[in-house]
Amino acid sequence: MSRRKKGHDDGHEGGHADERWLITYADMITLLMVLFIVLFAMSKVDQAKYISLAAGLAGSFSETKPNITTGGQGVGVVTAADAKTFSMSPEMNSLVNPAVGKELSGKTTTRTTTTPTSMTPANDVAVMARDAVLKDKNDLSDARRKIESALKEAGIKKGVKLDQDDRGLTITVTNDLVFNADRADVLPAGQRLLRILAPALIATGHKVRVEGHTNQVKVAPKYFPSEWELSSARASAVVRDLISRGMASGRMSAEGLADTEPLVSPADPRSIDLNRRVAIIVQSSVSDAQRTLSAFANTNA
């Protein structure tokens, strides 16, 4: 009887062992179900929430936008409360139009949406951002045309290069046209050039940053402790000259970058002349958040 009981128990344990595969199988089926649920959830994008998240993240990472530690509103930009009536806070005004946001600080402007039902408040904000980006681009392009026309009329064909990108309109001037070697006093030719550039720079209304650059030749300046002081002094000299011609000092800034940002490779024979330069940058007035919203509006146009 003892042996039969033991055999019966062994058979019972063996039956449990044969069924253990069901636990692994059930776990695998559960994981697959969770995977498909997640994939299904990811396939449905809420357009309004996507724009809100994208704008919030871009604004949080932008240096020009308030963040949580400085009293910003965090990631949220468009809330569910805006589904029928689009309430624009001062922060949202700053996102779409910094100038308007400043004027409306402390106020809330509310308007009823009159666009078709397919246009959500988030779409409306994206379109406004796209218009702001387009206006900024047109303003900079207009300034570029005026400068190119003035340079052509003055007969200046060499030593000045214009480039336009997201950061603004960059006017690159070789140092030989503006400064003597190791000096930070603007030459007569440089004064004439700045006199030609000043009207267009003033008319844009944009902020202007002047960057001083030196080449990578390992020779210490004669009259300055290092390349940093020399490049900073040259940038400051250009700023002073432009201010004397009517440029608002609040719109100007100067920065010396020494030899840290070469225009061409130091191995290039032209680098000795090309990397010694002053860059006058007419800065773009739109933020990273506006560019993010504008890109979204363009893809959904």
- Enter the tokens of residue 149: 């026309």
Q: What is the C-alpha to C-alpha distance for residues 230 and 258, in angstroms, rounded to an integer?
A: 8
Higher pLDDT, 82 or 296: 296
Mean pLDDT of 221-232: 94
Q: 1-13 pLDDT, tens per residue?
A: 445 444 444 444 4
Nearest CA among 199, 200, 64 for reference residue 141: 200
- Mean pLDDT of the 294-301 span: 75
Task: Look at the block and give the residue holding tokens 């919030």.
Answer: 56
Summarised one tens digit per residue, pLDDT across range 20-33 is: 788 888 888 999 99
Say if CB 159 and CB 203 are below 8 A apart: no
Per-residue pLDDT, 11:
46
The mean pLDDT value for 212-220 works out to 90
Highest-scoring range by mean pLDDT, 173-182, 192-201, 262-271 = 192-201
φ and ψ at 57, to 5 degrees? -65, -45
Instruction: Report how far residue 88's alpha carbon sits from residue 93's, in angstroms, rounded to the nearest whole number.
Output: 6
120 pLDDT tier (thresholds 50, 70, 90): low
Specify the range with the lowest mean pLDDT, choosing from 41-50, 93-102, 157-166, 285-294. 93-102
Which is it for strands 277-283 and 208-213: parallel, antiparallel or unpaired? antiparallel
CB 177 within 8 A of CB 168: no
Q: What is the pLDDT of residue 56?
A: 66
* Ramachandran region, residue 182 (left: φ > 0; alpha: ψ -120 to 50; beta: rest): left
Q: pLDDT value at position 294? A: 85
Compute the mean pLDDT over every residue in the chain, rounded to the nearest whole number. 78
Least confident of 97-101, 226-230, 245-249: 97-101
Q: What is the CATH number of domain 167-283?
A: 3.30.1330.60
Q: How many angstroms separate the Cα of 199 from the Cα of each of 15, 167, 298?
A: 93, 21, 34
